[in-house]
Structure 1
Amino acid sequence: MRTLLRIGTRASLLAVTQSTWVKNRIEQAHPGVRVELVKITTKGDRILDVPLAKVGGKGLFVKEIEDALLAGEVDLAVHSMKDVPTELPAGLHIGIIPLRETAKDAFLSVGYDSIAALPAGATVGTSSLRRRSQLAALRPDLAIVDLRGNIDTRLRKLDEGVFDAVILAGAGLHRLGLANRITALLEPAQMLPAISQGALGIELRRDDAELLAGLQFLHDPATAVTVAAERAFLLRLEGGCQVPIGAHATLAGDTLTLTGLIASVDGRELIRDQASAPAGQAAELGTALAETLLARGGKAILDAVYCAGSPAAE
């Protein structure tokens, strides 16, 4: 291992917290190595006044970091895997996937203990098409409003009464020490998570075998298998349209089970199914489940929504 490593990271509090966790683990495992964080502003960080679905999802939070990695300005990058496109630039790969945090979404409210307890017309904030569609299917009487900004901003708006509730990723709240703000974690049966939600990915240059070997202690094979199935599902569905997509995989022994979702934004059409396969067939499982959902009506949903770049799996 070289004596200095530079981690490329977004400058948000959550991204820095995640990258600092990786930095500390590397320095503990390799006492002679010093790790620096290089904060990089991405397109997704700059555009805060437009819903994510209208900006286009591919590479929104990673492209500038990947450019720095390819240019040799940083040695590795730490990403939330749900932000990473299924197709990476030539010369780069996700070499390390640490143990996953919770994949579940979190329901936060000051006055209500569940989605079911919200009164008709209650205002719920979310930045995610996936959450919006599933909420609309569960509770078509709610007012679902786009909510952008960092976690502090979202929590402040909740506390100020701008929203009756907000839905955020549970993993981010856990990593920031804000688990006490969670009113309830939503089970995947009620709110299917985003592809790879709760998982981190460490991106490296493909020719950096020394660094890959030095970081193997961070890799969790079980998380990597579940993430591979979910990302294969997304890869098969990418067709240039903004559409709510979700998937969640679990591993029990050698059996990998994947649940997938394609929905219309208004929640009126929601196609969901589940399939299982041996752990060694993660990619095949993801592709096959996507084909099943497409055949059951998912293709019609994809064809009907407006096209603007690439799918917003969130």
Structure 2
Amino acid sequence: MDDRSASLRLRALVVTCVLAAAVIIGIGGWPGQNGERPIARLAERLAEFTRGLRPDGRYRAPTSAERETASRGFASLFVGANVWLATSRLTPLGFSIDHEIDEATGRPYLLIMNEPDSERAWGMYMVDLSAAVRLAIEVPHPNSDLKTEQMGLELFRLVPGSILMIAGAHRDAAGKAADVAHRRDSMFHVMATGFAGRGLPQVQLHGFSDATLPARDLVISTSTGQAGEVAEHTALQLERAGLAVCLAWREKCGKLGGTRNAQGQTAAAFDSPYLHVEASRSVREDAGRRAAVIEAIAAVLLLR
């Protein structure tokens, strides 16, 4: 072998090692000794994150340039799960990205979290890597609509290929500027717009007090006042499970129809499937009834 060939081979080896290291670092560290990612206590991580969200917490809306950068970063995960590219775009915005294994399902996922103790309180996102992206699960009011984050995690675990979105601040933070369900200038909405543009079904989870709509367990809507295929089938499954459901496209459900919901309006503009679910406090506090709601929703979405 001549010196030139040896030099080229050495250079190729160095480049390969550098690229491999970059990819590994970009997805959250080296694997364990058996080549596996660390097992994550996902439910504990989620509970810890949401417990820290307070009405007087710090928050600022991202700038238009930050939203554009985030949009490109998250888009890298929708098709082909290009983790390295997503990392290069999201970490400058204060996000951490870790590649872990869910202890409950054994499935790999990405955990993307906003900068702790910062005004860049832009969310916690879990991306299931075991299947192609098929569903977006949205929790806009964690630690306010209590237990909705748990419902989101339960649905995430039932439907492989899901992305779970948890808002990064309490809905009342920064004079209610952090209420992502009603604003279009949030990272949360950046994600939802990307989903809508790709026709990806979205399920957004909310909660109401029992006194707001007595004798009803749930309110199902599409935020448009009209029914959709996913909403109709989900309502049927919920009623079969013995739950009392108010259907916003057929009857009056108080102010729980989600007609002012920013993500629902955007989904409607793209003619993309969107399901707005309001669960009573009694349902959210009862593990069995909560599970019945999530299983009914999953049963419909797994058939798509």
TM-score after normalising by structure 1 = 0.31
Q: Which has the higher helix share?
A: 2
**Does 1 or 2 have the higher relative contact order (CA < 8 Å, sep 6+)?**
1
TM-score after normalising by structure 2 = 0.32
Larger radius of gyration: 2
